Amino acid sequence: MSLRRALDELAVDESELAAEELAAECSRPGCTRIANLQVRSQASVTGTVHSIAVLPAGRAPELRIELFDGTGILDVVWLGRREIAGIRPGAYLTLTGRVTLVDGRPTIFNPGYQMLPSHV
């Protein structure tokens, strides 16, 4: 290994390493990486729940999460739900649904989901 390569590897941000590791773990057979999603296509995506948001009580029930797979973030929205047991930040899951574009971000509404054992 050259000295230049060793220095480059040391300079890599920890978050970049974690994202690369997660991307490798989330590349399951039959799943598409978030960076490769195509609008209007049916897709399955595996990743971890990066964040979760619930609309205030005065509005129609809606659960929103951001799913991260190391290559990008996918917005996921369940209409008519305020919570789903087991879906929390850090949860590891596979989602299946049709990809749309909302405010320039890939989004899936009301996907099917499968909870997976922790990947760590």
The residue extents of the domains of the chain are: 3-115
Listed ranges 2-11, 12-21, 46-55, 107-116; the one with the highest mean pLDDT? 107-116
Phi-psi region of 80 (alpha: psi -120 to 50; beta: other; left: phi over 0): left
Please report which confidence band the pLDDT of residue 8 belongs to, taking 50, 70 and 90 as the band edges.
Answer: low
Angle at 117 between CA 70 and CA 46, to 5 degrees: 35
- Max distance between CA atoms of the chain, in angstroms, equals 61
Q: Thinking of the domain 3-115, which architecture would CATH place it in? A: Beta Barrel (2.40)
Structure confidence by residue, pLDDT tens digits, 81-91: 999 999 999 99
CA 14 to chain centre: 19
Angle at 30 between CA 25 and CA 53, to 5 degrees: 65
The whole-model pTM stands at 0.80
Structure confidence by residue, pLDDT tens digits, 32-74: 999 999 999 999 999 999 999 987 888 899 999 999 998 999 9
Phi-psi region of 103 (alpha: psi -120 to 50; beta: other; left: phi over 0): left
